[in-house]
Structure 1
Amino acid sequence: MFALCCALFALVTWQVAADGPLRAADERLGRAVFRDVPDAVTEPLADLGNMTVAPLVLAVALAWSLWRGRRDTGRTPWRPAAAAVLALPAVPALVAPLKALIARPGPLEPGTGWYPSGHTATAMVAYLCAALLVTPYLRRRWAMPVAVVLTVATGVGLVLRGYHWPLDVLGSWCLFGAVLLLPAVVRGLPGVPRRGQRQA
């Protein structure tokens, strides 16, 4: 999955930056669907990726998981909490340089810097990290499906509202899919000690 996310991100970024045929098809699709759904529906979906919404959800999940972890095990689960907190600053750190470098014009708004979508990335990181934090303390595994639905809804809302081209959203999903999968990849490398193991 990590390799697939990286490959798709490289392909999409190349096509957008080089004004390739995939970008042309993307813009035709975008123009065909923009504003087809009432703004009263799409605007709240797009707002799920706002800095006033998604990080707040992550903060609540973080506080709750720390409290539950301390209550259930007697130990505070600092490691997953720290990983979640560090994942969110990766959004502007990665997205801002790419936006400046590629300088893609927006669909309906003036200016450039629309690829990749920062709102999509914020929603993906915040909601998926929140789900990872709370899932160990839930009886049923409903948090991750809800997080995926919220992430997809954000991207769909951004496209239908006309804030982003479809590839802006897809590029963010691929990039931050790879970012979120990276810790699992690193743990699987030969020579990387697992939890409870010591290096020789």
Structure 2
Amino acid sequence: MPVVLAAVLVLVSWQVAVDGPLLGVDRWARHAVRETRHELHSTLLNHLGKALSDLGSSVPAIPALLAAGASAAWRSRRTGAPRWWLPAVTAVLTAGLIPLLVVPAKAWFARPGPFGAPLAPDQWGWYPSGHTATATLSYGVAALLLARTVGVRARRRLYAAAALLATGVGLGLVWSDYHWLLDVVASWCLGALVLWTLARVPLPRKGRDS
């Protein structure tokens, strides 16, 4: 899994850097989405796409992450787990890590958005998608932290909710024409790599599953 994710991320980044033929996928996806939007002409779907996109903003994603870290720390302390404070620290570090991963890449690639307008001097590029990375990491890490304090069934629901939120944000961005598809795919891969790594870091766990 991590090898595949890293390979896709490197491939997409390389194609964005050299304006390679793989970017034709972006143009095809954008055309297909615009045609679908025109045919459906659904105000409800357009509002839903924007609402899903907004879930990848710093608010509400970062507060949700910090709240999950605090809740996991509190639950770990109640069960007497050693280093019960680690979930809160992990949440804060993750919140600081997101811009460190995304902003330099945006500045480096300086990719114009779907409308093709040149970047202003004070603008970062569109690649990778900051909203998608924020959603994937914030909700994903929140689920990982809380999952270590609950039983198996609740754990699965948390993972499913985080995956649905990250997917929904990415699809909402593409549907709303805010991002190219590959911007979103790269952030999914980046976020998944970080989550895969964090899932293997020992943190306080609930004493038994239920």
TM range (shorter): 0.7 to 0.9
Q: Percent of aligned positions with the same letter in both sequences?
A: 43
Indicate yes or no: 2:139 matched with 1:127.
Answer: yes
Hey, what does 1:4 align to over in structure 2? 4
Query: How many residues end up aligned between the 2 structures?
Result: 188
Deviation at 1:78, TM superposition (A): 2.1
The TM-score with structure 1 as length reference comes to 0.85
Q: 49, 63, 73: which is aligned to 2:70?
A: 63
**What residue number does 1:173 align with?**
188
Matched, 1:51 2:58: yes
Where does residue 73 of structure 1 map in the other structure?
Answer: 80
Cα deviations by residue, 1:49-79 (Å, 9 ceiling, x for unpaired) = 0111111111221121111111122655222
Distance 2:191 2:162 in 1: 14
Query: Are 2:112 and 1:100 aligned?
Result: no
Q: Which residue of 1 aligns with 2:130?
A: 118
Shift of 1:24: 1.6
Work out the CA distance in 2 between the residues paired with 1:10 and 1:20: 13
How far does the alpha carbon of each residue in 1:139-191 deviate from its partner, in whole angstroms, 9 at most, with x for none?
A: 32211111001000000001000100000000111122222323567x7xxxx
TM-score, structure 2 as length reference: 0.81
Distance 2:78 2:70 in 1: 12
Letter in 2 for 1:151: A
Question: Gapped runs of 5+ residues in structure 2?
Answer: 120-124, 204-210
Change (3 A) 1:96 1:74: closer
| 1:17 partner amino acid | A
Distance in structure 1 (CA, Å) of the matches to 2:93 and 2:146: 17
Q: Which residue, 126, 136, 139 being the options, matches 2:148?
A: 136
Give the C-alpha shift of residue 29 in structure 1.
1.2
Q: Is the 8 A contact 1:9 1:171 kept in 2?
A: yes
| Runs (5+) with no aligned partner, structure 1 | 188-193, 196-200
Deviates more, 1:84-93 or 1:121-130: 84-93
Deviation of the 1:118 alpha carbon: 0.4
Q: Secondary structure at the match of 2:141?
A: helix
Q: Which deviates the most, 6-15 or 89-98? A: 89-98
**4+ residue segments displaced more than 4 Å:** none
User: CA 1:184/1:61 → structure 2, altered by over 3 Å: closer, same or farther?
Assistant: closer
> Which residue pairs with 2:122 in the alignment?
none
Q: Deviations over 1:9-65 (max 9, x none)?
A: 000011111111110222221232047263211011001101111111112211211
- Give the direction of change, closer, same or farther, for the CA distance of 1:111–1:57 in structure 2 (3 Å limit): farther
Q: Call closer, same or farther: CA 1:111–1:78 in 2, change over 3 Å.
A: farther
Does 38-47 or 146-155 show the bigger shift?
38-47
Which amino acid in structure 2 is aligned with residue 60 of structure 1? A
